[in-house]
Every structure is written in structure tokens, then in C-alpha cells.
Structure 1
Amino acid sequence: MSPTNGTFTLINADRLWGTLMEMACIGAGKAGGSNRQALTDADRDGRDLFVRWAREAGCSIAIDEVGNIFARMDGRDPSLPPILSGSHLDTQATGGRFDGVFGVLAALEAVRVIAEQGIEHDHPIEVVCWTNEEGCRFAPAMLGSGVVSGVYDTEFAYAVVDKDGASFGSELERIGYRGEFPAARRAIAAAIEAHIEQGPILEAEGKTIGVVTGIQGAYWLDIVLTGQSCHAGPTPMNMRRDPWRAASAIIAGALGIADQYAPSARVTIGDMKAEPGSRNTVPERLTFPVDIRHPDASTLEEMVAKLRALVERASVSARLEHEIKQIWHMPATRFDEQLVDLIEREAGELGYSYQRIVSGAGHDSLHTAQFAPTAMIFVPCEDGLSHNEAEAARYEDIAAGANVLLRTIIRAAQNSQQQDS
């Protein structure tokens, strides 16, 4: 039986931690993390283990056309829309033990406790494992939830290929997780995702629970500056059409835009390609990506407009041609206010320190929020480090986040708002 704290039923922290560590052994990385990239054999083995655990907890299993797994526990009224909770089991190539996996197994632990305690609930509860959240093998990221939300269609997903030419559809078939359940929007009463923060804010503030109010919007833009290639020695500086003249101004200005909209703005230049790429040749072309983010949609658009104007001015000044390619856009997303309030209330009643926070990274909840009341629960991760085998989270914080998730699921699943003991 799960422990209780006064009138509050709690998760079995030892069992949850044990499932996390057992799952981490599948595709174990060389430095203590995990490598379960989407639709690999390791991903299949992790899915198989989750399905076995869910069936042992009394859940029925449904798998949709893009491999999303739904483990369902019926409520008193099976006709009601379900409470959906979970995340993903796939990892980066050098991923950690908690990113995504915590959300799936915390939801599974909640279902186990509800079944063991005989806690009555009106709505069905479904634990979801979304396919290909990471996107490191098959781009774009969040593909499984994206198909369900209608951002992508099934045929698009099937046609995506990895760097070796293997298609998403063929690999889904190969590992045995191409289901028949429609991958489409349906009625969901509430979608709740628990996750490690993947950033340093909660740890820095000494808070246990992040009550996530939304996900910041993002644009991925590629800036291409084209000038004229020439010899570095004979060509005077004032006679060059050097892309670096504009690039240096654009990079400094872009970081200045982030400063202007601080503290919520983010601007990152993570790469640079020079062509032809010779030490003693002025490049003909520079290409570099800009990742620009803000939690407010209108502010994000202002930032992007200023960046575009900056690129235009700098290119004209340096006598260059320029192009701005939009690679990807993640809309700024606000979570359901009532669900956010419920999470905050449950964290407070359980005695945990908490603060409201905006997610800096994308999650499957971005997609469920397009058609269902959605919110997230964050717990700290050590030094804010994620997408790294050194990713770490404390036992106590994992338990706390799972307890808040359990309480929130129970409240959301009980139409009558009954108290359990």
C-alpha cells in the first residue's frame, strides 16, 4: 500500500524510483544515461516494459497509428472523456534517465496507487507514452503528439526518414508498434504532464515544484548572407563584399534584442557555416541559425520583426544579398488556468514550495493544449542539465512531483470533487 500523509494518499516513492532506474537500464549509455532513440530496438524494449507494467496495474492498452501508447483505467463512467497523463520514453543519443521518462512512470505510479487504494473516480484515466518527442532520429520533434493534434498528418509522419534513410513508418512497423487506433483529436477532460525542468530556475530559487503556466514560443530562422569571395591578401578591406561585416552586426544586434526584452527573451546563435571555408579567402556566403524565443506571442513577433529589420540594414550596409528562411515555429502556448490553479493548490496543500514558471523547452503538452485543457508540473534537475547523460534529479523531488501529479489526477478525475483518505 502507498504511504499517507495525514489525509493525503501519496505515491510509493521507492517503487517509482525503482521503475525509473530499471527503465534506464534499457539502452543504458556509457556515462550513466540512456540511449533509446525513437523506434530503435531499445525504444521497443522500453515500450514493451511499460506495456507490461501497465497491464499488471490493470490497464487496457491501445496503440494508435503512429505508435502512441494509451494505458487506460476506466472510471465509474467510461463514457466520460479521460484524464490524460504521461510524456515520452524516447531519449537523445546521449540522454538522461529522467527527461520524459519521469512523466510516463509518474503517471503509471499514480494509476497503481489509485487502483491499490480503491480511490473512486468518475473519469477514465489514461497514461500516455508519446512517440518521437525528442526528434533526434526523426525530425520534427513531438511528432506523435503532433499527428494527434493535427499539426502533421499520418502520411507525413510515415515518410520522415532518419540520416540512414530508414522511414518512420517502416521502423514503426518493424518494432511492432504501428497500431490501428486513430491518431487524431478526441475529447480529453484534462492533460497533465510531469517533467524535469531542464533548466536552472527551480534549483536556483530553492523551489520543489514548478507550476507551469505555458510554453514559450520559438522561431528557428536560418540567415543566409551572400557577398563575393576573394583573396584575403590583395583585396583591400573597403573593396570587399564580406558577409562577416553584416554577420557581426547581426549577431551583436540579435543578442541586444534579447537584452531589450529581458528577462524572458532568449536569442541563441548555435552554429555558423562559411563557404568556401578557407582561412585565406573572404567567404562568399555565411549561413547561421537564430533560435529566438519569448513566452508572449505578440512580444515574440516584435522580436522577430526587429531581427528581420536588423538583417536588412546590415546587409544593405555591407552590399550583400540576404535571405531569411523560417525553419520551424513553435507558438507561444498558455495552459488552462483552472488546471494550473489546481496544480498550484495541490502543491501548497501537500506542503511543497512552488512557483509559477514558463517552460523554455517544447513538450508534447504544446500539442495537447491545442485541443484539451493542459498543464505541466516541473521538478528541479541538478544544475539545470538535460539532454546529457549527467542529467540528475533528486529522489525527494521526483517523489514530490509525482505526489502533486497524483493529487491533481484524482481531483480532475472526480466530478464530485470527493476527498480521499
Structure 2
Amino acid sequence: MQGFAINSERLLARLQHFAAIGGTEKGGVNRQALTALDREARRLLAKLARERGFVVFQDPIANLFIRREGKNPDLPPLLIGSHLDSQPAGGKFDGALGTLAAFEVLETLEDQEIATERAVEVVAFTNEEGCRFAPGCMGSLAFAEAAIPDSWRDLKATDGAGFAEELAATLDSLPEAQPRPLGFPVSAYLEVHIEQGPSLEHQGIPIGVVTGIQGTRWLDVVVTGQTAHAGTTALAYRRDPMLTVSQALAELYASIMPGDAEARFTVGRISCLPGAVNAIPDTVRLTVDLRHPSTAVLDINENLIRKTFETHANVQGCGTAVTRIFDMAPAQFPEPLLATLQEAASDCGFATAHLLSGAFHDALFLNRVAPSAMIFVPCRDGLSHNEAEHVEPDHCIAGCQVLGAAVLRLATA
């Protein structure tokens, strides 16, 4: 398969074309899931696919599939892609690069008349970001489970729109797409994505071979005390939940991440009630985002958080409750597929680094039902979920080229 080279000018032009759909004044993209702009991007991709003679499908969660047939249509297809939805103030590359790089590989196969043994399909998964409707990765999760959870039907978006209605409108916007059931056998899944971190850029390495995705747990922490007057209540008479929270957090911030370079501990939301400037609060509520590649360490750190809050609450005469509200197990991508990506990068002449993903992606869920892996490319300053998100053109091209080389190894054998 010597001479296989993507059309880099076409890829870069496509990235700019899609970035204009929902483009913001600051150069980013606001194309949230299941909106009119999301539907516009899906229609454009389907139009480009049909113009090349590819077959377009969608399933009941509005995952969009584009199929280039192989010599043996009975073989499970090789799936490549990502997502098209963005954050409210997102960038041009998160998700879109992976989807459009996959489509470019499909077009290059067609341009060069390369017959693959199995079909190759591009997928654009629904609602990876989870910013308008939660949870994120809805499309890949439903695909892996072969079902849409009943609890999603009554979901409301941040703008008040109903999930069921917006999903129906999205499905109806592509009448030319053939329906297919949720979930079907695939031989493997590959996804190109920006790193969303600074390590590749700092090392000057163009390609990251992603070995897995760390586990994530979200905890809801509630500490209860007693409301009292801020000016008249002496220290000895206070049951102040904010004091409990501040002391517990100081201890946890000083221990979890400083003691383990792979651990992540983040408090993303915190609120006090009743919220008066001149009153001691009676309730403080906060969220904890806890991450680690080891389930055992997640267990240890979750227990540490529970005990730390309980200890400080007891000293202050407060109550505490810690509830796990989200649990995403770590994923390890299979070694044979990682070796294929390494070989593909070597074929293309690119240096690589092996990385663990700190964020979860659609590949996390596909890995439950098929061998999956990811290719990371550098992003400037590690910045993502931001309108200033930037990937150098050469790195976009490199990620796509490595994907193409891997597809040749996996789909033509």
C-alpha cells in the first residue's frame, strides 16, 4: 500500500467549512448537540458522503454512519470517527477533527480505488459533549448498550428543550439516511482526537498513542450545620458547615494530588444556604470530580474523602453525607490495536508517545463491545473546550495520515 496519502488541502478546507457552522465571533464553535446547527453539520456530512457514492445510515439515537463497502460485506465493518457537537464556547477541532479525518480516509480510499476486505464506516456519535443534555457520550453509550435508557426520554436541555423532541427533529432532518438498529458488530473502532493537554506539544511529538482512559467518579457532598447570626454568634456556639468544608478541602488538596501524580481531584461546584451575607450557613453543598487509571485507587481516594469530611464535621458538630452520583470505570485499550497504531505511525515517519487520556471519549464505550483505540494530536497550550483551541495544520494532517495507515492494516488484511 505504498503511496497512500490523504488529500491534506481537502481535509484542512473541510475543517474550516464545518467550523463556520456555529462559528463564534472569537473564532470558536457553538454547535451543541441536537440543535439546528448540529443538524446542519450532519446534513452537510451526509451530502458529501452521498456525492461520493457512500451509503448513509442513522440509528435511533441519531448516530450517523457513512459506509464504504468492502469486498466481503458479511464481515463486521471497521468503524472510525468521533463527534460533531461542541461545547457552548468550544473550538474547531474537538470532535470535528476526528470525524472529518475519518471521512478524509474514506475519500482517499475511494480516490485511490483501494479495495478493502471489510467495509469501513465513518461514525459521528450523538452528544459526546453532554453540555446541553446530560450525560455526555449518549450516542456511544447507547450503541454499546444497544438501548436508549428510559430515563433519557424526559430529559430537558439547558435551554428547556425536550430530549425526545430534539432527537426526533434530528432524525427527521435526514430522511435520506437509511435506518439501522442500535448496536451491531464491528471489528474495531479508531478515533483521532486532540490531546486536550500539553504533553505532546511540550515534547515536540506529533502523535500520541492512547493506551487507555482513566476512571472518573463524581461525588455529591452535603455538610449541614446551623444558621445563626454572623455578628453575635461566638466561635464556641457555632456549627459552621463552611468551616468543616474548608478544613476538609485543605487536607484533601494537600494529600490526593501531591501524593499521586496520576490522581485528579477537583471541586467544580460549591454553594451555601441560605446564602445571606450576614448569616452562618446551615448547608454547604459541593461536587467532587475524582479521576485515576486504577479502580482500586479510586476506591481508596473516595473512602479518604468520606472519612475526611466526617472527621471535620464531627469536630464542628455538623452532619455530612457523601453520595456517589457518577462512576465511570477505567478503560485499557487492547495491546494488539495499540501495536497497530504504533506501526502505522512508524510507516508514516512520525515520532510517538504513549499517553493515558484524562478525559473520557466515545472510544471508552466502544471498547466495551469492540477493540478500540485513539490517536492524539497536540493542541496549543493544551487548551480545549475554549474558543482559542488550536491545532497546527501539520498535526491535523499527521493524525489523519496515521489513521489512514492503520485503516489499511486493519481493513485490507
Shift of 1:264: 1.0
Q: Tell me: CA distance 1:261–1:83, structure 2 relative to 1, closer, same or farther (3 Å).
A: farther
Q: How many residues end up aligned between the 2 structures? A: 410
Which residue does 2:205 correspond to in 1?
Answer: 207
Partner of 1:419: none
Query: In structure 2, do the counterparts of structure 1 residues 386 and 243 end up closer, same or farther at CA, with 3 Å as the change threshold?
Result: same
Q: Is contact 1:65–1:180 with CA below 8 Å preserved after alignment?
A: no
TM superposition score normalised by structure 2: 0.96
Secondary structure at the counterpart of residue 262 of structure 1: coil
Q: Secondary structure at the match of 1:352?
A: coil
Aligned position for 2:194: 196
Deviations 1:22-54 (CA, angstroms, capped at 9, x unpaired): 000111112111111111111111001110111
**Letter matched to residue 17 of structure 1:** L
Measure, in 2, the Cα distance between the counterparts of 1:390 and 1:225.
Answer: 38
More displaced, 206-215 or 246-255?
246-255
C-alpha distance in 1, partners of 2:167/2:196? 28
Q: Which amino acid aligns with 1:192?
A: L
CA offset digits 1:162-210 (Å, max 9, x no partner): 1343222211222325877455332110100000011111111211111
Q: How does 1:3-402 map to 2 (within 5 A)?
A: 7-150=2-145, 153-175=148-170, 176-177=172-173, 181-402=179-400
Give the superposition deviation at 1:155: 3.5
Of residues 275-284 and 153-162 in structure 1, the stretch that sits farther from structure 2 once superposed is 153-162
Q: Distance in 1 between matches of 2:78 and 2:352?
A: 23
Amino acid at match of 2:45: F
Q: Deviations over 1:261-293 (max 9, x none)?
A: 421111011221011112221110101111110
Amino acid at match of 1:144: G
Q: Is the 8 A contact 1:243 1:285 kept in 2?
A: yes
What CA deviation, in whole Å up to 9, does each residue of 1:37-92 have, x standing for no partner? 11111111100111011122321011100100010011110000010000110111
- Kept in 2, the 8 Å contact 1:143–1:152? The answer is no
Letter in 2 for 1:352: F
Q: What is the Cα-based RMSD across aligned positions, in Å?
A: 1.7
Which letter does structure 2 place at the counterpart of 1:62? F
Query: SS of 2:284's equivalent?
Result: strand
TM-score by length of 1: 0.94
Percent identity over paired residues? 40
Residues 87 and 194 in structure 1, CA contact (< 8 A), matched pair in contact too: yes
- Provide the C-alpha distance between the structure 2 equivalents of 1:151 and 1:267, rounded to a whole number of angstroms: 33
Q: Which runs of 5+ in 2 are unaligned?
A: none
- Amino acid of the structure 1 residue aligned with 2:257: D
When structure 1 is superposed on structure 2, of 319-328 and 211-220 the one drifting more is 319-328
Alignment check: 8 A CA contact 2:192 2:375 kept: yes
Counterpart CA distance in 2 for 1:189 and 1:313 is 51
Q: Which moved more, 1:56-65 or 1:397-406?
A: 56-65
- Structure 1 residues not aligned, in runs of 5+: 416-421
Asked if 1 retains the 8 angstrom alpha-carbon contact of 2:216 and 2:330, the reply is: yes
